[in-house]
Structure 1
């Protein structure tokens, strides 16, 4: 069983991931690394200000509170996508 089956709010947030722009999706997928904003911004070749703006939009579009919850959504989305590919 994957994470997205255990929590209705998480499942709903995972279903909203396709609403993200390509760049927002890149940021979302980088969040589970646990790096600081500065490190993530450097890794993604953007300023910290731009990174924070993307994170803000991600939180709004996914309707989640905080980057930790967004990182959980990223993890769940990756697992759900893998599960669908295996089927």
Structure 2
């Protein structure tokens, strides 16, 4: 992965984190910085998962948002118990 690929993944990760948070119903107790980190990780993981099946950008985006929503659900559950 080149530098431009990493930078674009970071930018997409910001957007993916916001979309993942919007996809989860109810109020989340996560700070915005943690949502951004979840989005960045989801962008990398979602791209890897979707890359196993196809390279269609809409499918990759959908998988990334689903991974981000799952990450928000899991981490919000752990974060709110603290």
Q: When the two structures are superposed, what TM-score results if normalisation uses the length of structure 2?
A: 0.33
TM-score with structure 1 setting the length: 0.32
